[in-house]
Structure 1
């Protein structure tokens, strides 16, 4: 019986899977909350994974 293993993770090397981060701008607002912005990885658009190569239909081995 064949042992089927799961495929390797498709983590994006550019961001190591941390595709979105919160960056503090320094200081606090009038409600005493930290001011932050969200930055997304430009290589994967905030997904954190690489795209799988689509199988070509009708291709022969």
Structure 2
């Protein structure tokens, strides 16, 4: 039986659909775990996909 797939969205070419990452800074917190910072993709602003140029409305 065929599976229904969701509408295709275009993945961001810079992050390939992984828009947010945690990067370790190398330092440790007082409880011994690593300190991390969260960074979002600058191209898609953390959404993971981009708009398809043909679907963008231009003009009025």
With normalisation by structure 1, the TM-score equals: 0.69
Find the aligned partners of 2:5 and 2:32 in 1 and give their Cα distance: 49
Give 1 or 2: higher helix fraction.
Answer: 2
Q: CA deviation at 1:7?
A: 3.8
Give 1 or 2: higher strand fraction.
Answer: 2
- Structure 2 unaligned residues grouped into runs of 5+: none
With normalisation by structure 2, the TM-score equals: 0.70
RMSD of aligned residue pairs (Cα, Å): 2.5
- Structure 1 unaligned residues grouped into runs of 5+: 57-61
Find the aligned partners of 1:24 and 1:44 in 2 and give their Cα distance: 22
Q: How many residues align?
A: 54
Q: What does residue 43 of structure 2 align with?
A: 43
Q: CA deviation at 1:8?
A: 2.9
